[in-house]
Structure 1
Amino acid sequence: MSKKDSFLVNRLKSVGYAFKGAILLLKTEASIKIQFFIAIIVTILGFILNISTSEWIVQCLAIGMVMSIEGINTAIEAIADFMHPEYHKKIGLIKDIAAGAVFIASIFAIIIGFIIYLPKIFNIRLPLG
C-alpha cells in the first residue's frame, strides 16, 4: 500500500489537471478559441475606454461564465459521443440542451457588453443608472 498524498499535494495535482484541461480546450475547441479571442478584444477595449472597477468585475464574470459553460458543454458532448458514438435522438437532445446553455450565457454576455460599451463608444447615457 502506497502512502497517501497530503491534502496540499492533492490540491496542487487538481490544479494541474484543471490547467491541463483549460489548455486542452483552448488548443482543440474552435468555439472556445473564438470566445477567448473576443475576451482579449473586450479586455483591450476595457483598457482603452477606461471602464470602471464594477464594469471590469461584471465583464470578467461574463467572460468566465461563457467560457466555463462552453467547457462543460464540450465535456458533455465528449461523454455523449463516447457513450453512444452513433446518432441517437436522446443524445442529440442532450447535446442541444448543453449548447443552448452556452447560447443563453453568450446572449447575456453580449447584453452586458452593450451596456458597458455602447455608452462609452457613442457617448450616450443608458436609462439604467
Structure 2
Amino acid sequence: MRLPRPWFRVRRSFWQSLKFAVDGLKFVVAHQRNFRIQLAFGTVVLVLSFFIDFSPVEVLWLVFAVFFVLLGEALNTVVEEMMNVIHPNHDEHVKHVKDAAAGMVLISSVFAVSVGAVVLGRHLFGWRPQVGAAVALAFVAFSVTLGIFGEVENVARKKDSRPRNR
C-alpha cells in the first residue's frame, strides 16, 4: 500500500501554482483596504511614468518602490492571518507581532514616498534631487514624531474603540 505524499512534496504544474498565487492576490485585494489604496496610488504613479520623460533608472526606482509597498502589505496580511489562526484571542505577544508587521509596511511606504519625492519632485516641480531628499526627510521626521507623541494611537483609539486582537 502506497501512502499519499505529504502536502509539501506535492508536485504542481506551473499553472496550478500560478492559480494559487492569483487566489492569494484576490484575497488580499478583497480583504485589505490599505492594499487597494496603495495599489491605486501605485497604478497612478506607474501610469504617470508613461507620460513623463523619466530616465530608465527613475522608472526602475518607481516600479521598485510601488512593488515594495505592495509586497510589504501582502506580507503584513500573511502575518495577521497566521496570527489570527494561531492565537484567535487577545494576546500581547500577538499584538507585538502584528504591530511589527505593520511597521514594516510603514517603512516601505516611507521609502516609496522618499523615492516619489526625489523622482517626481524633479519632473513635476523642478526640484533638485537634494530638495526631494529634504522633503522625504521631513516626511520621515513627521512620521516618527507622530509615532513618538502617540497622535496616531490617539486618533486610532477615537476612531475605533472596538476590542480587537491587536
Q: Normalised by the size of structure 1, how large is the TM-score?
A: 0.87
Code of the residue aligned with 2:91 in structure 1: it is H
How far apart are the structure 2 equivalents of 1:40 and 1:19?
A: 18
How far apart are the structure 1 equivalents of 2:127 and 2:116?
A: 15
Shift of 1:68: 0.8
Question: What percentage of aligned pairs have identical amino acids?
Answer: 25
> How well do the aligned residues superpose, as a CA RMSD in angstroms?
2.2
SS in 2 for 1:86: coil
- The equivalent position to 1:43 in structure 2, one of 39, 43, 46, is 46
**Larger RCO: 1 or 2 (CA < 8 Å, sep 6+):** 1
How far apart are the structure 2 equivalents of 1:85 and 1:19?
A: 26
Counterpart position of 2:116 = 113
How far apart are the structure 1 equivalents of 2:86 and 2:46?
A: 38
- 1:1-20 equivalences in 2 (<5 Å): 9-20=12-23
Code of the residue aligned with 2:101 in structure 1: it is A
Structure 1 residue runs of 4+, over 6 Å off?
A: none
Pairing 1:52–2:62 present: no
Counterpart position of 1:67 = 70
- Give a deviation string over 1:85-117, Cα, whole Å, max 9, x none: 111000000000000001001101100011100
Structure 1 gap ranges (5+): none
Q: Normalised by the size of structure 2, how large is the TM-score?
A: 0.69
CA contact (8 A) 2:119 2:129 kept: no
Structure 2 gap ranges (5+): 133-166
Q: Which is higher, the Rg of structure 1 or of structure 2?
A: 2
